Amino acid sequence: MDQWLEEIRAALPELVVYQQEPMKKHTTFRVGGSADLYVCPKKQELPVILGLAKKKGLAVTVIGNGSNLLVGDKGIRGLVIEVGAQMNAVEVQGNILRAQAGALLSQVATKAAAAGLGGMEFAAGIPGSMGGAVTMNAGAYGGEMKDVIRQVTVLTPECEQKVLSREELNLSYRHSCIPKNHFLVLEAELSLTPAPEQEIRAKMAELREKRVEKQPLEYPSAGSTFKRPEGYFAGKLIMDAGLRGYAVGDAQVSEKHCGFVINRGNATAAEILQLMKDVQERVKKQSGVTLEPEVKMIGEF
């Protein structure tokens, strides 16, 4: 690790490398131990960082906005790369919008609206970034990323850039080919539909109101905790199992929306994980349905 630090500082003197960086600062759950090393690089710095990490046998974890993550209390060994503020450019040409992987979905939706392009309204309130949204085919209110993606540029494990078409991404409910192939999303190209800006903004405002009304946005969470089981709604199954408000320490099933696990202030990752297991067991016993986590767990618990 020390050797990697020495060499990366020589190769990229402007890159800021944080040591023992608390991951609770970088996840919407506001929990998690420290990362050994943490960087937020520019696009052109990625091949150098990844190449050196591979050469030194340093474990690498890539994150975006941290909105769908549960990081273990013991933190993350090796290097965490945040594809974020240094990679968030958004540009529009005709009905095509290009967004780097670190661009927030809210930023992308606003830019699309200003250009009179519809199709991203569903994503305006999702607290994630473009890279994560593409990787898990994020969706809400009847819309999904697969509805608007034209193509995506990724970095392969060999640090080569590759352009994948929508078909090649193999997008389905909360799924793409990206994790399996260990690709890193660099940029997405979206094909949007011209529409009056006023209508687009009205739709975004309507969906924002729905979120505020129905979701526990006043507490840290990772959004919907479980995937939607076919033919069911996770929140209703959890509510029907009598788990509204169920808590383990400061982790709690939201009373406002049972599909959300919230951090009431000082929850640990262990408490959240235990609560999720309890919910899965109770729902399975009550309804026979197996709930799959939508939240991705990383690090050491």
Q: What HEC string does 255-268 produce?
A: CCCCCEEEECCCCC
Q: Phi and psi (nearest 5°) for 230?
A: -55, 125
pLDDT band at 248 (very low <50, low <70, confident <90, very high): very high
- Is pLDDT at 67 greater than 90 in this prediction? yes
State yes or no: is 294 an active-site residue: yes
Whole-number average pLDDT of the chain: 96
Which candidate in 82, 187, 271, 294 is catalytic?
Answer: 294
- Report the predicted TM-score, pTM, of the whole model to 2 decimal places: 0.94
- 158 pairs with which residues across the strands? none
Residue range 163-190: mean pLDDT, rounded:
96
Q: Quick check: 2 pLDDT over 90?
A: no
Distance of CA 161 to the CA centre of its chain: 22
Residue 178 banded pLDDT, cuts 50, 70, 90: very high
* pLDDT attached to residue 90: 98
Out of 67, 106, 224, 254, the active site residue is: 224
* pLDDT score of 1: 83
User: What integer pLDDT is reported at residue 180 of this predicted model?
Assistant: 96
pLDDT score of 228 more than 90: yes
Give the domains, in start order, of the chain with CATH numbers: 1-82 (3.30.43.10), 90-214 (3.30.465.10), 234-298 (3.90.78.10)
pLDDT at residue 260 is higher than 90:
yes
Task: Please report the sign of the dihedral spanned by the C-alpha atoms of residue 168, residue 170, residue 175, residue 177.
Answer: negative
Beta partners for residue 89, in sequence order: none
User: Which residues in 143-160 are b (16+ Cβ under 10 Å) and which e?
Assistant: bbbbbbbebbbbbeeeee
Q: Known catalytic residue: 7? A: no
Q: What is the model's pLDDT at position 206?
A: 94
Q: Catalytic pick from 150, 166, 174, 208?
A: 174
**244 assigned to active site:** no
